[in-house]
Chain A
Amino acid sequence: MARIGVFTCWCGENVARHVDIEKVTETVAQMPGVRCSINYKYMCSDPGQAQIRDKIQSERLTGLVVASCSPHMHLKTFRKAAQTAGLNPYLVEMANIREHCSWVHHNREEATAKALDLIRMSVEKVKRDHELVPIRVPLTRRALVIGGGVAGIQAALDIADAGHEVALVEREPSIGGKMAGLSETFPTLDCSQCILTPRMVEVGQHPNIKLYTYSEVESVEGYVGNFKITIRQKARYVDMVKCTGCGDCWNSCPIKKNLSEFDCGMGFRKAIYIPFPQAVPARPVIDRLACTRLKRGTGCGLCEKKCQAKAINFADEDKLVVEQAGAVIVATGYKLYNIAKEQDNAQLSGYGEYGYGKYKDVIDALQFERLVSASGPTGGEIKRPSDGKIPQSVVFIKCVGSRDNAKGLAYCSKICCMYTAKHTMLYKHKTPGGEAHVFYMDIRAGGKAYDEFVRRAIEQDGAKYYRGRVSKITEENGKLIVRGADTLAGAPVTIEADMVVLAVAMRPADGVHALAQKLNVGYDEFGFLSESHPKLRPVETNAAGVFICGACHAPKDIPEAVAQASAAAGKTLVMFGREELTREPEIARINEQTCAACYTCVRGCPYTAIERAETLTPKGVHVKYTARVNEGLCMGCGTCVALCPSKSAELEGFTEQQIYSMVESLMT
């Protein structure tokens, strides 16, 4: 016989203002199966919980309904209270009479009636609850970090320093990411490489970090605590063990005119190359599309002849490696929005009016970084690409792509205000007498010492800021004619510039969507990966055990990416600190007696949590085939329950019997 306790909460005035608590308490006490019905001003407070514990013991309750706020808010609180009093925590239900009732209905009578209905349903449900036990899942204490930029490096080092093994997968031949190509960093103007390369070396030498460069994640299987990741190591044609990184190969390579990816197309590299001198690992790779030997299968082979370590292997092939990991951290970073060329996305369009690609001296911000960088193609001298002259007048345009709904990207890329200010400073410092003009819409410089930095560019270094967009850029007699507006002066502005630098929008890196689908991580309309909660779970995702950090989540600067990476590492370490993982037991179960093995559920499950299984007798004789739920993977969404034609799938804690009884209680 059910002995249910109902505890109605005032929530201060939140519920009591519109719901007649006394009437509710009295009426509920008459409901069949209800043993006691009390109310209190704050049920979640210590005295409130004490009353619940007392009643469980004194009335020997078999189930609990707390009529108060949303279960999101306090279900855990009340389950814990029940558990302390010796009641299985899954025998606790909540009737949400705040969000679903008092906050939305202000007619006292109607609100009271609805509160009663909500409680009546919960009472019927709790009567049919079963005792459940959390699922225990074993845990592999190894992490996989995807992306070797500054965020990935930080996350990998934090976890490795805590004593756990990390596999770091990077798509490019070297780790370092976008930051390795930057010149100096705001707001301190310290050299990007000087602060990053020691961290890169640390990753390369760390005993706990296994580095997979020039590799990509092929597939992901398993679930939180027990991921099995297949990594494709692309053919490098260089034996990483034998190679000493001496440089004889790339010095002898005759194929010189390949645009350097690292220099954003501003410089050249050989067909066998390391992306930049400080690369980690300092091992070259052969560009299979550029190398004459690999294209023709015969000839050249100069690098092979010159290599004393015999490390060149033209017969190299892609290899698949399997890694086990308990947690995955995604740090795939960003790419720049494509200004003029074909777009990869039908919703986007380019900026024909700025002539990027048509005029050589219209460049993007990352290209400018390479021009200013001491390790860049010009050795840090700002020379314009068309004729190598030093530009005497440079126009910087912000919000190119960003905040431009007509081109398809509504968001602010966040870092452009700061790096444009930095660009004007670097340009002014290197070019005495040079003019820096900036077109901006708003200056967004929130951050420690950020606004001061922008003001310094304007007040001390003399960058000219115009509040307005640029409509068109044309070329006349070797000059770029920039037609913009100064909305503060209320006049159009025309500037004859030698070079134009576009602060282009940040977009998530290529391939991140395919990766997100492999990991069951969501992404927003612009392709940035979605966090679990925008405030309280910023590095978690809706896929348990998968964390995100850096610019794959949203445009961010270096400090923010690093902070988020450490947060993701911290969350991983919290997980690794446990003996084993526990999961909520409210998951699907298949009744193997009635299952007809049609496998509709297997095909329909969005989490690939249902497997084909075979029932055997104890002696190992085949009885039948069935579907079986993997407890580690099931998220309890109930899709299989809806799909199953033989009604063999049930969701624990939400059985059909329970749902029907709730509906029935409303009808009577």
Chain B
Amino acid sequence: MTTDTAIIDTAGEIRVQDCYQCGKCTAGCPVAGHMDVMPNQIVRLAQMGMEDRAMLSESVWLCVSCQTCTTRCPKSVDCAGVMDAMRQLSAGRDAVAPAMRNTLIFMRAFLDNIRRNGRLNELELVGQFKTAGFFSSLSIPFLFKDAMLGPKMMSRRKLRLLGKKVRDRAIVKRIFERCHGKTADTPLKKDEQ
């Protein structure tokens, strides 16, 4: 067994070796129809120590963590947990399916936003996401994609010009500090997620 499988095993005491590939996870997955690699195949790759392939799938970023797979698994394998571990591995190594690059950028921008404000500042997020995305893709159309949504959202009060910050940002900072350093290659334990 490779060390990578060990990472998954310690992640949330997920026993990937228990999986007998019945496919019930895939059967119940609401987004399996959009996935390139089926949930049961992700678990299979993890079982065989082939995380490199699993984390480069689009599926791990399409997973919505609804936990249906974990709930119905006849062998009590935490399939959603495997997905989570793969995302963390992918983020930590900055290795991601090309089509999902922007998703990873968005996630990072989102978390960074939360870390600094304690809550979401939508306009700032848009700025962060577009900037980072532009430097990654060097695509001008990307910069202006969805721009027309701005006024609509503004009119419905979904986008504030001046974002508010939470009062006690020290606590938020501490949460991030606790997680930091562990996110790189060691996924978090259950209670910390």
- Interface residues in chain A, defined as those with a beta carbon under 8 Å from any beta carbon in chain B: 353, 399, 403-407, 441, 467-472, 483-487, 490-493
Q: Could you show 9 A-B contacts with beta carbons less than 8 Å apart?
A: A405-B74, A468-B23, A469-B23, A485-B22, A485-B38, A487-B23, A491-B26, A492-B27, A493-B27
A471 engages B24 (CB within 8 Å): yes
- Say yes or no for B88: interface residue by CB 8 A criterion: no
Q: Which of B23, B25, B33 contacts A486 (CB 8 A)?
A: B23
Q: Which residues of B contact A491 (CB under 8 A)?
A: 26, 32, 38
- Say yes or no for B53: interface residue by CB 8 A criterion: no
B38 engages A471 (CB within 8 Å): no
Q: Tell me whether A484 and B38 are in contact in the complex, defined as CB-CB below 8 angstroms, given that A468-B22, A471-B68 are known contacts.
A: no
A487→B27 CA distance, assembly (Å): 9
B28 engages A441 (CB within 8 Å): no
**0 or 1 for each of B1-29: is its CB under 8 Å from A? (1 = yes):** 00000000000000000001111111111
**Nearest CB on B from A494, distance (A):** 9
**Nearest CB on B from A488, distance (A):** 9
**Nearest CB on A from B37, distance (A):** 8
**In the complex, which residues 106-126 of chain B have their Cβ closer than 8 Å to any Cβ of chain A?**
none
- Say yes or no for B128: interface residue by CB 8 A criterion: no
B75 engages A406 (CB within 8 Å): yes
A404 engages B74 (CB within 8 Å): yes
Q: Tell me whether A487 and B40 are in contact in the complex, defined as CB-CB below 8 angstroms, given that A405-B76, A406-B76, A467-B23 are known contacts.
A: yes
18 more A-B contacts (CB under 8 A) besides A472-B27, A485-B27?
A: A403-B20, A405-B74, A406-B72, A468-B23, A468-B40, A469-B24, A469-B27, A469-B74, A471-B25, A471-B72, A472-B72, A483-B28, A486-B23, A487-B26, A491-B38, A492-B27, A492-B33, A492-B38
Q: Which residues of B contact A407 (CB under 8 A)?
A: 74
B74 engages A483 (CB within 8 Å): no
**Nearest CB on B from A394, distance (A):** 18
- Interface residues in chain B, defined as those with a beta carbon under 8 Å from any beta carbon in chain A: 20-29, 32-33, 37-38, 40-41, 68, 72-76
A470→B74 CA distance, assembly (Å): 11
Q: Which residues of B contact A353 (CB under 8 A)?
A: 28, 72
A468 engages B26 (CB within 8 Å): yes
A399→B24 CA distance, assembly (Å): 12
A483→B23 CA distance, assembly (Å): 11
How many A-B residue pairs have C-beta atoms within 8 angstroms? Tell me. Answer: 76
**Nearest CB on B from A459, distance (A):** 23
Q: Which of B21, B32, B72, B75 contacts A492 (CB 8 A)?
A: B32
A441 engages B22 (CB within 8 Å): yes
B23 engages A485 (CB within 8 Å): yes
Q: Which residues of B contact A468 (CB under 8 A)?
A: 22-24, 26-27, 40
Q: Which residues of B contact A486 (CB under 8 A)?
A: 23
A487 engages B75 (CB within 8 Å): no
Q: Which residues of A contact B76 (CB under 8 A)?
A: 405-406
Query: Which of A467, A471, A484, A491 has the largest count of B CB atoms less than 10 A from its CB?
Result: A471
**Nearest CB on A from B78, distance (A):** 12
**Nearest CB on B from A636, distance (A):** 42
A485 engages B75 (CB within 8 Å): no
B20 engages A492 (CB within 8 Å): no
Query: Which of B24, B29, B38 has the largest count of A CB atoms less than 10 A from its CB?
Result: B24
B38 engages A487 (CB within 8 Å): yes
A469→B21 CA distance, assembly (Å): 9
Q: Which residues of B contact A484 (CB under 8 A)?
A: 23, 27
Q: Which residues of A contact B26 (CB under 8 A)?
A: 468, 485, 487, 491-492
Q: Which A residue sits closest to B69, measured CB to CB? A: A471
Q: Which residues of B contact A441 (CB under 8 A)?
A: 20-22
**Nearest CB on A from B71, distance (A):** 9
**Nearest CB on A from B35, distance (A):** 9
Query: Which of A406, A468, A469, A472 has the largest count of B CB atoms less than 10 A from its CB?
Result: A469
Q: Which of A470, A485, A493 contacts B40 (CB 8 A)?
A: A485
Q: Tell me whether A470 and B20 are in contact in the complex, defined as CB-CB below 8 angstroms, given that A405-B76, A406-B74, A491-B38 are known contacts.
A: no
What 3 A-B pairs have minimum CB-CB distances, sorted nearest first? A471-B28, A485-B23, A468-B23
Q: Which residues of A contact B37 (CB under 8 A)?
A: 490
Q: Which of A405, A485, A490, A493 contacts B24 (CB 8 A)?
A: A485
Query: Which of A405, A468, A493 has the largest count of B CB atoms less than 10 A from its CB?
Result: A468
A546→B28 CA distance, assembly (Å): 48
B74 engages A487 (CB within 8 Å): no
A484→B74 CA distance, assembly (Å): 14
A483→B38 CA distance, assembly (Å): 14
A308→B41 CA distance, assembly (Å): 71
B27 engages A483 (CB within 8 Å): yes
A226→B41 CA distance, assembly (Å): 60
B38 engages A470 (CB within 8 Å): no
Q: Which B residue sits closest to A409, measured CB to CB? A: B74
Q: Which residues of A contact B21 (CB under 8 A)?
A: 441, 487
**Nearest CB on A from B68, distance (A):** 7
A487→B76 CA distance, assembly (Å): 18
Q: Which B residue sits closest to A485, measured CB to CB? A: B23
Query: Which of B33, B40, B41, B74 has the largest count of A CB atoms less than 10 A from its CB?
Result: B74
A471 engages B74 (CB within 8 Å): no
Q: Which residues of B contact A471 (CB under 8 A)?
A: 24-25, 27-29, 68, 72
**Nearest CB on B from A348, distance (A):** 13
**Nearest CB on B from A601, distance (A):** 46
Q: Which residues of A contact B28 (CB under 8 A)?
A: 353, 471-472, 483
B41 engages A490 (CB within 8 Å): yes
